[in-house]
Amino acid sequence: MRARDLKRLAAGSDERSRALAAALAGAAEERGLLDVALGSAESPVGPLLVAVTPRGLARVAFASEDPDEVLEELAARLSPRMLESARATGEVRRELEEYFEHRRRSFDLRLDWALIHGFATETLRATARIPYGHVSTYREVAERVGSPRAARAIGNALGSNPIPIVIPCHRVLRSGGALGGYGGGVERKETLLRLEGALGRG
């Protein structure tokens, strides 16, 4: 199924289309044929696309990303067997909603690290340990992974984070407190830090 066909199915405009899509996703999940479940969530940083595999959350995409490219990436690197499924993505969407409503400070989600490799794995695992409401620097993360001179490589790894927000790369700043870059755009990074009350804190 091509990305455009999948989007057309997932975005069914009437109630019957949505019911059929949900029934198809449920049947596929029950038979072990749903490798990647897709869902959408509203947030203060815009609509989010989430992708969940049987191993856990594999992808969170911002609206600024090309949806066709995201779906093509998922099909090529995870599986082309993708469908929208409210049931399979329900836990992820619920925890994101709680986070954005200030009712959750950490996520209890299983993660699928299949889209993360090499140096980025160490970097993002270290980043995942930065507490809510606090920030770190690229240099500090580099030191934590045993590569104190690799601040630039750290930035590249954070910029390619496929699970932003849940793996909180927005909590990593430049030395001196400048925001630095962010895969979803600096405005989104600032919004997330303000939501957590983290600006001006270390």
Q: What angle do CA 152, 57, 13 make, to 5 degrees?
A: 115
Enzyme catalytic residues: 169
**Of 94, 83, 89, 75, whose CA–CA distance to 27 is shortest?**
83
Q: What domains sit in the chain, N to C, each tagged with a CATH number? A: 3-100 (3.30.160), 119-196 (1.10.10.10)
Q: Could you tell me the two tokens for 160? A: 């390619």
How far is the C-alpha of 170 from the C-alpha of 124, rounded, in Å? 11
The pLDDT score that the predictor gives to residue 3 is 52
112 contacts: CB under 8 Å, gap ≥ 6: 52, 53, 55, 56, 57, 58
Phi, psi of 200 (to 5 degrees): 85, 5
pLDDT tens, residue order, the chain (202 aa): 455 555 555 455 566 545 545 554 554 455 556 899 999 999 999 999 999 999 999 999 999 999 999 999 999 999 999 999 999 999 999 999 999 999 999 999 999 999 999 999 999 999 999 999 999 999 999 999 999 989 889 999 999 999 999 999 999 999 888 899 899 999 999 999 999 998 755 4
What whole-number distance in Å separates Cα of residue 62 and Cα of residue 103? 22
Global confidence as pTM: 0.83
